[in-house]
Structure 1
Amino acid sequence: MGRPTGFLEYPREETKERSPLKRLSDWKEYSEQQPEDMLKRQSARCMDCGTPFCHIGIEINGAAAGCPINNLIPEWNDLVYRGKWKEALDRLLKTNNFPEFTGRVCPAPCEGSCTVELAGPAVTIKNIERAIIDKGFENGWIQPRIPTKRSGKKIAIVGSGPAGLAAADQLNQAGHSVTVYERDNLAGGLLTYGIPNMKLDKDIVKRRITLLRQEGIDFILNTEIGKDVMADELNEQFDAVILCTGAQKQRNLELEGREAEGVHFAMKYLTQSTKRLLGIEVKEPIIDAEGKNVIVIGGGDTGADCVATALRQKCKSVVQFGKHPKLPNARSKENMWPEQPNIFTMDYAYEEATAQFGHDPREYSVQTKKIVSDSEGHLKELHTIQMKRTSDENGNIVFKEIEGTEQVWPADLVFIAIGFEGTEHPVLKQFGVETKNNKVKAKHGDYKTNLNGVFAAGDSRRGQSLIVWAIQEGRECAREVDKYLMGASVLP
Structure 2
Amino acid sequence: MASNKMLKFVTVERQTPEKREAEARKADFGEIYREYAAEKAAEQAGRCSQCGVPYCQSHCPLHNNIPDWLRLVAEGRLQEAYEVSQATNTFPEICGRICPQDRLCEGNCVIEQSGHGTVTIGAVEKYITDTAFEMGWVPSIKPHAERAESVGIIGAGPGGLAAADVLRRAGVQVTVYDRHDRAGGLMIYGIPGFKLEKDVVMRRNAQLEEGGVTFALNTEIGRDITFDEIRDKHDAVIIATGVYKSRELSGANHAAKGIVRALDFLTASNRKSFGDDVPEFDSGELNAKGKRVVVIGGGDTAMDCVRTSVRQGATSVKCLYRRDRNNMPGSQREVANAEEEGVEFVWLTAPDGFTVDLRVTKADDSGAAGPVKGVRVQKMKLGEADATGRQAPELIEGADYVEEADLVIKALGFEPEALPKLWEKPELEVTRWGTIKADFRTHETPLDGVYAVGDIVRGASLVVWAIRDGREAADAILERFAAAQSSVAAE
Q: TM-score, normalised by structure 2?
A: 0.90
Indicate whether 1:133 and 2:129 are aligned.
yes
Indicate whether 1:348 and 2:356 are aligned.
no
Indicate whether 1:72 and 2:61 are aligned.
no
Indicate whether 1:373 and 2:356 are aligned.
yes
What is the match of residue 166 of structure 1?
Answer: 162
The amino acid that maps onto 1:288 is N
Alpha-carbon distance in 2 for matches of 1:344, 1:313: 21
Task: Note closer, same or farther for the CA distance 1:328–1:218 as it changes in structure 2 (3 Å cut).
Answer: closer
- SS of residue paired to 1:197: coil
Within the candidate set 391, 403, 407, 1:409 is matched to: 403
Indicate whether 1:47 and 2:46 are aligned.
no
Within the candidate set 91, 108, 114, 2:109 is matched to: 114
Q: Deviations over 1:341-386 (max 9, x none)?
A: 9868744333212xxxxxx511111011111112232001111121
Does the aligned pair in 2 maintain the 1:159–1:246 contact within 8 Å?
yes
Within the candidate set 249, 256, 266, 1:253 is matched to: 249
What is the match of residue 347 of structure 2?
Answer: 364
Does the aligned pair in 2 maintain the 1:292–1:315 contact within 8 Å?
yes
The amino acid that maps onto 2:393 is F
User: How do residues 389-408 of structure 1 correspond to structure 2 at under 5 angstroms?
Assistant: 389-391=382-384, 397-408=391-402
Mind listing any 5+ residue stretches in structure 1 that lack a counterpart? 57-65, 330-339, 354-359
The amino acid that maps onto 1:302 is T
What is the match of residue 489 of structure 2?
Answer: none
What is the match of residue 477 of structure 1?
Answer: 473
Seq. identity, %: 38
Task: Note closer, same or farther for the CA distance 1:419–1:342 as it changes in structure 2 (3 Å cut).
Answer: closer
Does the aligned pair in 2 maintain the 1:326–1:344 contact within 8 Å?
no
Q: Deviations over 1:19-42 (max 9, x none)?
A: 111112222111111122221121
Deviation at 1:148, TM superposition (A): 2.7
Does the aligned pair in 1 maintain the 2:6–2:74 contact within 8 Å?
no
Alpha-carbon distance in 2 for matches of 1:10, 1:412: 48
- SS of residue paired to 2:17: coil
Does the aligned pair in 2 maintain the 1:146–1:214 contact within 8 Å?
no
Does the aligned pair in 2 maintain the 1:232–1:431 contact within 8 Å?
no
Task: Note closer, same or farther for the CA distance 1:70–1:427 as it changes in structure 2 (3 Å cut).
Answer: farther
Does the aligned pair in 2 maintain the 1:158–1:180 contact within 8 Å?
yes
What is the match of residue 152 of structure 1?
Answer: 148
Alpha-carbon distance in 2 for matches of 1:245, 1:182: 8
Indicate whether 1:433 and 2:422 are aligned.
no
What is the match of residue 454 of structure 1?
Answer: 450
What is the match of residue 387 of structure 1?
Answer: 380
Q: Deviations over 1:39-65 (max 9, x none)?
A: 112111110211101111xxxxxxxxx
Alpha-carbon distance in 2 for matches of 1:194, 1:226: 23
- SS of residue paired to 1:367: strand
Task: Note closer, same or farther for the CA distance 1:459–1:429 as it changes in structure 2 (3 Å cut).
Answer: farther
Does the aligned pair in 1 maintain the 2:323–2:393 contact within 8 Å?
no
Q: Deviations over 1:184-210 (max 9, x none)?
A: 011100010010111111111111100
Task: Note closer, same or farther for the CA distance 1:341–1:361 as it changes in structure 2 (3 Å cut).
Answer: closer
- SS of residue paired to 1:270: helix
Deviation at 1:229, TM superposition (A): 0.7
- SS of residue paired to 1:287: coil
Deviation at 1:475, TM superposition (A): 0.4
Q: Deviations over 1:140-191 (max 9, x none)?
A: 1113121131120010000000000000000111110000001101110001
- SS of residue paired to 1:7: coil
Task: Note closer, same or farther for the CA distance 1:247–1:124 as it changes in structure 2 (3 Å cut).
Answer: same
Indicate whether 1:14 and 2:16 are aligned.
yes
User: How do residues 239-278 of structure 1 correspond to structure 2 at under 5 angstroms?
Assistant: 239-278=235-274
Task: Note closer, same or farther for the CA distance 1:396–1:416 as it changes in structure 2 (3 Å cut).
Answer: closer
- SS of residue paired to 2:380: strand
What is the match of residue 322 of structure 1?
Answer: 321
Does the aligned pair in 2 maintain the 1:163–1:457 contact within 8 Å?
yes
Does the aligned pair in 1 maintain the 2:444–2:452 contact within 8 Å?
yes
Alpha-carbon distance in 1 for matches of 2:391, 2:26: 39
Does the aligned pair in 2 maintain the 1:247–1:463 contact within 8 Å?
yes
Alpha-carbon distance in 2 for matches of 1:46, 1:464: 32
Alpha-carbon distance in 2 for matches of 1:343, 1:217: 37
What is the match of residue 28 of structure 1?
Answer: 30
Alpha-carbon distance in 2 for matches of 1:429, 1:480: 26
Does the aligned pair in 1 maintain the 2:454–2:467 contact within 8 Å?
yes
What is the match of residue 179 of structure 1?
Answer: 175
Alpha-carbon distance in 2 for matches of 1:243, 1:341: 27
Task: Note closer, same or farther for the CA distance 1:342–1:239 as it changes in structure 2 (3 Å cut).
Answer: closer
What is the match of residue 62 of structure 1?
Answer: none
Within the candidate set 199, 207, 216, 1:211 is matched to: 207
Indicate whether 1:421 and 2:418 are aligned.
no
Aligned residues: 464
Indicate whether 1:103 and 2:96 are aligned.
yes
Deviation at 1:12, TM superposition (A): 0.6
Deviation at 1:447, TM superposition (A): 0.9
Alpha-carbon distance in 2 for matches of 1:396, 1:135: 41
Does the aligned pair in 1 maintain the 2:250–2:353 contact within 8 Å?
no
Task: Note closer, same or farther for the CA distance 1:221–1:352 as it changes in structure 2 (3 Å cut).
Answer: same
What is the match of residue 232 of structure 1?
Answer: 228
Deviation at 1:421, TM superposition (A): 2.0
Deviation at 1:5, TM superposition (A): 3.0
Does the aligned pair in 2 maintain the 1:304–1:350 contact within 8 Å?
no
What is the match of residue 335 of structure 1?
Answer: none
